[in-house]
Structure 1
Amino acid sequence: MDAAQLRATQAPFKEKYRSDPKSALITLKAKGSIDNEAIACKVEIGRALAVAGLHPGSGGSGLELCSGDMLLEALVACAGVTLKSVATAIEVPLKSGKVSAEGDLDFRGTLGIDKEAPVGFAEIRLRFDVDTDAPQEKLDLLLKLTERYCVVYQTVKNGPKVSVTMHRV
């Protein structure tokens, strides 16, 4: 897909959202079910199930997916798609590209060992390695716009309002 095709594909959506801003508010959903036998949660991903469990650093077997890894994978996926979309839109030719994310956790927090230790990532590092002949100012713009428009990056960076409820069934 080139820049013109991308613009043509997105044009009707942009026009609709400009004329009817409420139509741009879309609720994404995820579902899972608690595993009755293991300490795991089965998460629906399209037509498949991803089974998430404890990280080996907190007693998990390593056979299930770690939700922390899944968060980083979601960040990589979103950042990669956003980077490619922006590169296409601003006509930065990419010969190849890699996206990686790593995050630091202190398991003393999640295991309740040290009340001063944080629960969650203390730091996340997102990295792009691109092979391109584009000038540096185009790469700077590419990075700036990728950061600006990556949904998962902005969500992690800005911490949205989150609510939690529990219902008896």
Structure 2
Amino acid sequence: MISTPTKMQFHVVSRRESAHASSAACKNAHIDLDTDLDGNPDAFNPAELLLAALSACMIKGIERVTPILKFQLRGVEVRVHGVRQDVPPRMESIRYEIVVDTDEPDRRLDLLHDNVKKYGTVFNTVAPGTDLSGVLRRKNETP
């Protein structure tokens, strides 16, 4: 009998603490949420959380494939910009820039970017419903 692999599952619990504050927890981690109608500069609002999740997905994907590709890097920074559409409310477009500190050749940068786009869970969840595009470039290159 062939066994099917167990699917990864995720569990987050979020709670309203007051009209001005909420929080989310998973595993041993906790994050403050901006659910205040007037905004909270000390917490991520839902749209910022989405962009943070997307950027974390990209970095995690890079961490996953660099040993496989034997890709050498010193650091990664992801910059994400989203534009919200009002009616209906949704993230209309997201632009990203992945900046990699590396001496790898350009073709290897392209390969790394292809892997980020192909194997990212959050990336592939967001992409079908949003105008999502961006670049992966070497640090200190002019965009």
TM-score bracket relative to the smaller structure: 0.7 to 0.9
Contact 1:31–1:44 under 8 Å retained in 2? yes
Sequence identity of aligned pairs in percent? 24
Q: 1 or 2, which has the higher helix percentage?
A: 1
Quote the residue 2:31 is aligned against.
Answer: 50
Q: Which runs of 4+ in 1 moved over 4 A?
A: none
Pairwise CA distance, 1:34: 2.3
Contact 1:100–1:127 under 8 Å retained in 2? yes
CA distance in 2 between counterparts of 1:49 and 1:97 reads 24
Is residue 72 of structure 2 the alignment partner of residue 93 of structure 1? yes
Contact 1:52–1:67 under 8 Å retained in 2? yes
Whichever residue aligns with residue 51 of structure 2, its letter is L
Pairwise CA distance, 1:86: 1.4
Pairwise CA distance, 1:144: 0.5
- Superposition pairs for residues 1-169 of structure 1, below 5 Å? 20-21=3-4, 23-35=5-17, 37-54=18-35, 59-106=38-85, 109=86, 117-158=87-128
Whichever residue aligns with residue 86 of structure 1, its letter is V
Pairwise CA distance, 1:99: 1.5
Q: 1:131 to 1:62 in 2, by over 3 A?
A: closer
Contact 2:11–2:26 under 8 Å retained in 1? no
Pairwise CA distance, 1:39: 4.2
Q: 1:61 to 1:130 in 2, by over 3 A?
A: closer
Q: 1:134 to 1:122 in 2, by over 3 A?
A: same
Pairwise CA distance, 1:44: 1.0
CA RMSD of aligned residues (A): 2.1
Contact 2:22–2:35 under 8 Å retained in 1? no
Q: 1:48 to 1:134 in 2, by over 3 A?
A: closer
- Output one character per residue of 1:138-160: Cα deviation in whole Å (capped at 9) or x when no partner: 1111110111111111111135x
Structure 1: gaps spanning 5 or more residues: 1-18, 110-116, 160-169
Whichever residue aligns with residue 123 of structure 2, its letter is Y
Structure 2: gaps spanning 5 or more residues: 130-143
CA distance in 2 between counterparts of 1:133 and 1:71 reads 31
Pairwise CA distance, 1:91: 1.4
CA distance in 1 between counterparts of 2:100 and 2:120 reads 17
Q: 1 or 2, which has the higher strand percentage?
A: 2
Larger radius of gyration: 1
